[in-house]
A and B are shown apart, each in its own frame.
Chain A
Amino acid sequence: MGSMARAKVVALSMVDKHPEPQPLLAVKLSPAENPTAEAGADAAAPINSSALPAPEPEVVPTVSLTKVFRNLLAQITRERITTAALACVSIGALFLFWYIGTKYRVEFYIRFKNVPTPYEVFQQLTQVGLSNKYLVNIAISVRRILLGFFIAMAIGVPLGLAIGKYQRVRDLFMPVVEILRPIPAIAWVPMSIMLWPNNEASIVFITFIGAFFPILLNTIHGVHSLDGVLIRAAKCLGASEFRLFLNVILPGSLPHIFTGLAVGMGVAWVSLIAAEMISGQFGVGYFTWEAYSLVDYPAIVLGMITIGFLGLACSGIIRMVGSLLMPWLAFAPGGKR
């Protein structure tokens, strides 16, 4: 307790040292140096005596391999082993089903007659998989996704924040949103081809449409679900309109925005693949559809698996960025952890 009081005086006198016409606090805080400061310390003690800033024991940073190894081992809990085992079981079952179906050429309403075996697909991957054509198709699809998605994000998030915050903006934009929203991105294909000067732009546009509405609507929802008391608290702490936006409304709706981004990314892939199949040149969707036209069955499955992995990677990145940007969610009640 004694060292506590000393620490307090030091901290406070540091405040007092600023002679500039700065916060009134410098003046206001100084009474803390009067004897009642001790009483404050006593009163608080019952709650968190353990929380008093006991000097942290010096930790000498040593890198010992056994320690690293033990840490790794410590992370392998029963819980995690079970999770991993179940993941293997579910993926294994899928492969087993595929393997047995193709091995015995099962024909029981669904027909495995033309379906390639896992081995054939694997072979396809080793041959085609490293070919230029395949990689270029992937690159082109990824570029379209990134363009469409980032444009959707750049428009959807600010617009969503504005619509969520201001009644007038809402009145202006929501009618159009409500009309356009039910139209699936794929239904935009013919219109998009007419609208845009080239094929590339029209495919990006369709990807954009797919991502845009989930992002927009989730952002609006994020603003609306923000606790009003936080906005009131910010206002009486002197937040101007702009700062309120930047420091409260944006971070407060961030969890919902990221839900929107994840959903939007999924829909963007659906839309992209459909667009590539219908109107495309290049792209993974085009690759898959072309394989079908050329009766190259293993390539169809390879295309499908590629799409699956790309989608997985994209949503994984979004989730990762999300948890980097929102570390507090790890502690939120009912949160991610």
Chain B
Amino acid sequence: MIMATAMAETQKGLIDVRDMGVTFGANDNKIIAVDNVSLNVQPGEFVSLIGPSGCGKSTLLSIVAGFVKPTSGDAKLDGNAITKPGSDRGVVFQQYSLFPWLSVRKNVEFGLKMAGLEQSKRNTTARALLDLAELLSFENHYPDQLSGGMKQRIGIVRALATSPQVLLMDEPFGALDTQTRVVMQEILTNIWQQFKISVLFITHDIEESIFLSDRIYVMTARPGRIKAEIKVPLPRPRRAEMTDTPEFMNLVQELKGLIREESLAAMAPEIKDRGLSGFGMKVGPKGVGDIF
């Protein structure tokens, strides 16, 4: 921590969330989505946020992105309070969010165009980024012509085009199949190392969070609090084979235990209502089934 603050002097991208609370609605249908959460991402660090469905992960990310205002507490980027969205924070969404009317290259150029950069420079930068994502040959395609994995890769480099200090990712690979996911994780690790950028990464997938992160925050069921903070001491560069090592397995077990408790807590009302038999049907694709 102390060492990290010293680093912040030289490198930007420090996310600092303090005593954050978010409440939706009023009176009877008041929902406390996030309750008293403090977390930080050090410059250049890769941090995951993991927790049961509906615990407020997306809400937290939306606050750091500047879409939602917290009810209490504050969020800062490099010491400045976050008030609105801006190109200093790249965001990758779970849904595909490429502009369908723009070609792949124009999508990547979008942020640069908004910054008023001239066409030839936008072009050069976008092509370099597309090359990095191994998608240069698709520069003139439309998003609807691409597979899900390609779209998300473009989403990532589009968010990187404006050289943000941090990258916020809300279950970016949630919609992808397992094989594609594994490849995407390696690509992301690579990009992260090249850009030396801070990442706040939300996921449902325990192994994904371990594979990618330096540190993992585990959240409780609603109202979302930080239940645990876990360091991932695995060396880098990480390779897919690493998932078979005992160190990795132990971390998986530890996280599974933490999350199982919370998922059961999150489901408690439903279990009471329906009994355990109706349980499997009730839980959606994002539910317990994914985590276990």
Contact = CB atoms under 8 A, between A and B. Distances in A.
B170 to A, nearest CB: 10
Interface string A45-79: 11110011110000000000000000000000000
B95 A229 contact: yes
Contact of B65 (A18, A32, A236, A239): A236
B116 to A, nearest CB: 9
A251 B110 CA distance: 14
A12 interface: yes
Contact of A23 (B95, B99, B125, B180): B125
A22 B117 contact: yes
A31 B44 CA distance: 14
B114 A44 contact: no
Nearest to A23: B163
B121 to A, nearest CB: 7
Interface string B187-200: 10011011111000
B233 interface: no
Contacts of B135: 48, 51
A48 B142 CA distance: 17
Contact of B128 (A29, A51, A54): A29
Interface in B79-116: 84-87, 89-91, 93, 95, 97, 99-102, 110-115
Interface residues of B, number: 63
B110 A247 contact: yes
A22 B113 contact: no
How many of chain A's residues touch chain B, expressed as a range? 35 or more
A247 B135 CA distance: 24
A24 interface: yes
Contacts of A40: 132, 134, 187, 190-191, 194
Contacts, number: 168
Contact of A37 (B186, B194, B237): B194
Interface string A297-337: 00000000000000000000000000000111001110100
A240 interface: yes
A36 B194 contact: yes
A239 B91 CA distance: 14
Contacts of A41: 134
A237 B164 CA distance: 9
A198 interface: no
B128 A229 contact: no
8 contacts: A8-B131, A15-B124, A28-B197, A44-B134, A46-B183, A52-B134, A235-B85, A328-B101
Given A36-B237, A53-B136, A233-B91, 4 more contacts: A25-B125, A48-B150, A232-B85, A240-B114
Q: 5 closest A-B pairs (Cβ-Cβ)?
A: A238-B87, A24-B163, A43-B186, A237-B111, A44-B134
